[in-house]
Amino acid sequence: MEAGARACRRVLEVGARVFKRGRGHGVVALDNEDGTWNVEFDDDGAEGDFKPEDLVLADDLRWAPAGACVVPFPWTTPKAEGHTRFVCFSDTHGLHDLIPRQHKPAADVLLHAGDFTNTGEMEQVSSFADWVGAYPARDKVVIAGNHDITLHEDYYKSRGAARFHQRGAYDCSKVRQVLTGFTYLEDASVEICGYKIYGTPWQPDFCDWAFNLPRGKEIREKWEAIPGETDILLVHGPPAGHGDRCRHGRVGCQDLLEEVQRRTISVVVAGHLHEDHGTTTDEVTLFVNASTCTSEYNPTQRPIVFDLPPREQLRSATETAALRRIAGAGA
């Protein structure tokens, strides 16, 4: 926190994005010229006046209360003893072989948050499996996204094939057979390096693509199925307020955010919205938008790398942070 405060004293200015512990993210709106700065917060538009030492510049935010630590580029910072390093990709859209060599750091675990193809082509799925299999990480976990249409068989057979593959449909069962060399999750959990990871491909309705559900009851039922003991949530579409900005504004799922905040989840890794690549945090959780492709579909955005302490330590810190948030909400 002290490093962030020092950074604020150096470069705090109107328009800067900041984080206030206990309040969230916002934008500096005014220099009050009395040693305080006025901040307008993202969530509800409320504002407040704060000293520089009470604020952290968003770009300097490398921590989360539960102990997740974002590793800055070029990812040469050694991990602490007993910690596990994760590298996160998403939205590679069949362009994985064009990712710059310097954007492929070694890690203990690779996470991919979906849209690894353009429209679920067998050839791209097979090529992606080869790429993941060769990646310098011991364990790899992958989910689908809305573009991976051949993995959502009901959608594909009802309208996806006719819409995108008019010259010849793929056999969905054969596509799934090439999902090798990694753990593929679809509304399921796996334990990796002691951490419990839950993966789910769904997102609110978006232009009638795969794994879409209406906002409200239908999609909330998917989020309600997230186990309470989840440490890392791997989901294609982001929750509201975290990595969810696009040209239409903020479009993340409020139901997902509420279900995350009902649990003690340390990290949420998503993608889907290429424009809001990066990390945010609240009082408990580190949120990652790991979109690799830009809005112009160039696979040049850097992967997000983070370290986690051993699970027992992580769970304790996450639960403590969650209780602190609940106490703060009731104050």
Residue 327, domain member (yes or no): no
Same domain, 164 and 292: yes
Instruction: Name the nearest CA neighbour of 16 among 45, 43, 39, 32.
Output: 39
The yes-or-no verdict on residue 126 having pLDDT over 90 is yes
- Structure confidence at residue 60 (pLDDT): 55
Same domain, 20 and 168: no
Written as six digits, the tokens of 323 are 């209780």
Lowest mean pLDDT segment, chosen from 12-16, 84-88, 248-252, 278-282: 248-252
**Domain limit, last residue, from 32, 58, 84:** 58
Quote the distance between the C-alpha of residue 23 and its chain's center.
Answer: 21
Same domain, 25 and 127: no
Residue 233, classed as helix, strand or coil, is strand
Instruction: Name the nearest CA neighbour of 178 among 220, 230, 123.
Output: 123
Sign of CA dihedral 147, 153, 159, 162: positive
* β-bridge mates for residue 30, sequence order: 38
Give the pLDDT mean for 210-220: 95
Assign residue 30 the CATH number of its domain: 2.30.30.140
**Average model confidence (pLDDT) across the chain:** 90
* β-bridge mates for residue 56, sequence order: 19
Residue 330, domain member (yes or no): no
Sorting pLDDT into bands at 50, 70 and 90, what band is 55? confident
- Structure confidence at residue 5 (pLDDT): 36
Residue 323, domain member (yes or no): no
Residue 328, domain member (yes or no): no
- Structure confidence at residue 2 (pLDDT): 37
Question: What percentage of the chain carries pLDDT values higher than 70?
Answer: 91
Residue 162, domain member (yes or no): yes
Selected residue with higher pLDDT from 85 and 4: 85
CA distance 155 to 212: 9
Q: In what order do the strands lie in the sheet with 56-57?
A: 47-50, 37-41, 24-31, 17-20, 56-57
Please give the angle made by the CA atoms of 137, 140 and 141, to the nearest 5 degrees: 155
Same domain, 46 and 89: no
CA distance 139 to 208: 33
The yes-or-no verdict on residue 251 having pLDDT over 70 is yes
Tracing tokens 């106490």 back to the chain, one arrives at 327
Same domain, 87 and 159: yes
In this structure, the chain runs to a length of: 331
How many domains does the structure of the chain reveal?
2
Residue range 17-51, pLDDT digits in tens: 887 766 667 889 999 999 999 999 876 568 899 99
Written as six digits, the tokens of 147 are 């573009």
pTM for this model (two decimals): 0.84
Residue 329, domain member (yes or no): no
- Structure confidence at residue 7 (pLDDT): 39
Residue 240, classed as helix, strand or coil, is coil
The yes-or-no verdict on residue 140 having pLDDT over 90 is yes
Residue range 169-191, pLDDT digits in tens: 999 999 999 999 999 999 999 99
Sorting pLDDT into bands at 50, 70 and 90, what band is 118? very high
Give the pLDDT mean for 277-306: 93
Same domain, 51 and 199: no
Sorting pLDDT into bands at 50, 70 and 90, what band is 106? very high
Q: Which residues contact 145 (CB under 8 A, 6 or more apart)?
A: 90, 91, 113, 114, 115, 116, 201, 203, 210, 211, 236, 271, 272
Instruction: Name the nearest CA neighbour of 178 among 142, 224, 146.
Output: 142
Same domain, 278 and 298: yes
Give the pLDDT mean for 115-139: 98
The yes-or-no verdict on residue 331 having pLDDT over 80 is no
The top-scoring range by mean pLDDT among 3-7, 16-20, 194-198 is 194-198
Residue 43, domain member (yes or no): yes
Same domain, 80 and 43: no
The yes-or-no verdict on residue 95 having pLDDT over 60 is yes
**Domain limit, last residue, from 58, 78, 100:** 58
Same domain, 167 and 312: yes
Residue 210, domain member (yes or no): yes
Residue 242, classed as helix, strand or coil, is coil
Same domain, 53 and 74: no
Owning domain of residue 151: 69-318
Same domain, 145 and 231: yes
CB 292 within 8 Å of CB 92: yes
Same domain, 176 and 114: yes
Assign residue 161 the CATH number of its domain: 3.60.21.10
- Structure confidence at residue 9 (pLDDT): 43
CB 151 within 8 Å of CB 177: no
The yes-or-no verdict on residue 3 having pLDDT over 80 is no
**Domain limit, last residue, from 35, 58, 81:** 58
Give the pLDDT mean for 312-318: 92
CB 146 within 8 Å of CB 202: no
